Amino acid sequence: MARGHVEWMQQAGFHVVAGCDVSPERRAALNHDFPEVQVFETLDSMISDAEFGLCTVVLPHNLHAPVAIQLSSAKRAVIVEKPMCISSAEADRMIDAARAHGVMLSVFQNRRWDGDFQTIHGLITSGEIGDPYSFEVCMGDFGGLGHTWRAYKDSSGGGMFDWGAHIVDWLLQMVPSKVDSVLGFHRHLAEHPETNEDHSHMIIRFESDAIADIQIGHLDAAPRNRWRILGTQGAIVQKSWGDIEVSVEHHGHVAKYEVHPPHSKWLSYYENVREHLTNGADLAVKPEESRRAISAIEASYRSEHSRKPEEPAYA
């Protein structure tokens, strides 16, 4: 991911001057791949010895907040990989630090520019299926959690903080309503040493009464459709990562057609950041939006323990 960020920055017109990593192997890889970039072992040394105005944080989730706050305090603009952090309290501190020092803070919600999400979002906002009232999203596999830091709660925050950070962000973009409550089920079902859940399930009820049902599982031998959205005048289904099937009412019958989504344009995220920093364009991914997603996921974990719906800190 770090390599990808350097390349996207350069393609968007940024001059990448420095990088930092505690790992000797990754510092050597950075030096090999981008010999023009200064390489540092510590963040303190990079802040003091390199001249830069923007830094992207590509670290385990539990490190996003402290590193972003340190960079904001040093008056550097900050981008953090998703998820923004792993609690609403951390998000508050990150936003407060950026505001206090007058610098930009944003989250790399690159999948807002996924071709299929853009297509589905466009179909909904155009009214193609009427008023959407039910959203089902599934990211399932039968391959296990893996053995990296992403599989452990202390570094990742939990299974829903990974893909869930994208999914909840998508839903908050598509449903123009505040979140009323969140119900969460986060289960460690199979025998494995990893501390993350192998099945996570959250249900969001919006004040508009729309319902979103999200499942992320690693025990899904027969996963559901990736998207199933029901509206008052039709439906949208995406079975996997390919074409999108749209069903609409037509003279008392159901007519179906398929839409082939365009290529994703993740570079657009960095192009927007460039325009924001240089020309004052509106920032596409605002930190308050990402904080809403974090607070919803956080509420789902509280619900797992309370066994009842919970209100998010930021609706």
Residue 147 pLDDT level (bands cut at 50, 70, 90): confident
Query: Is 41 part of a structural domain of the chain?
Result: yes
Instruction: Tell whether 288 is covered by a domain.
Output: no
The pLDDT tens digits of the residues spanning 260-310 come to: 999 999 999 999 999 999 999 999 999 999 999 999 999 999 999 999 999
CATH of the domain at 159: 3.30.360.10
Mean pLDDT of 141-163: 92
pLDDT at position 57 over 90: yes
Is residue 312, in this structure, part of any structural domain at all? no
**Dist. CA 8–CA 305, nearest whole Å:** 41
Average pLDDT, the chain: 96
The percent of residues in the chain predicted with pLDDT above 70, rounded, is: 100
- Considering the domain architecture, whether residues 215 and 202 belong to the same structural domain is answered as yes
Q: What is the CATH number of the domain that holds 272?
A: 3.40.50.720
Asked if residue 143 has pLDDT above 90, the reply is: no
- What is the number of structural domains in the chain? 2
Q: Give yes or no: residues 163 and 277 share one domain.
A: no
Give 1-43 pLDDT, tens digit per residue: 999 999 999 999 999 999 999 999 999 999 999 999 999 999 9
Q: pLDDT grade, residue 251 (50/70/90)?
A: confident
**Token code pair at residue 151:** 């599989």
Residues 124 and 192 in one domain: yes
Percent of the chain residues past pLDDT 90, beyond the cut? 96
pLDDT tens, residue by residue, 80-133 = 999 999 999 999 999 999 999 999 999 999 999 999 999 999 999 999 999 999
Residue 17 inside a domain? The answer is yes
Same domain, 152 and 299: yes
Range of the domain at 208: 115-263+293-306
Residue 225 maps to a domain: yes
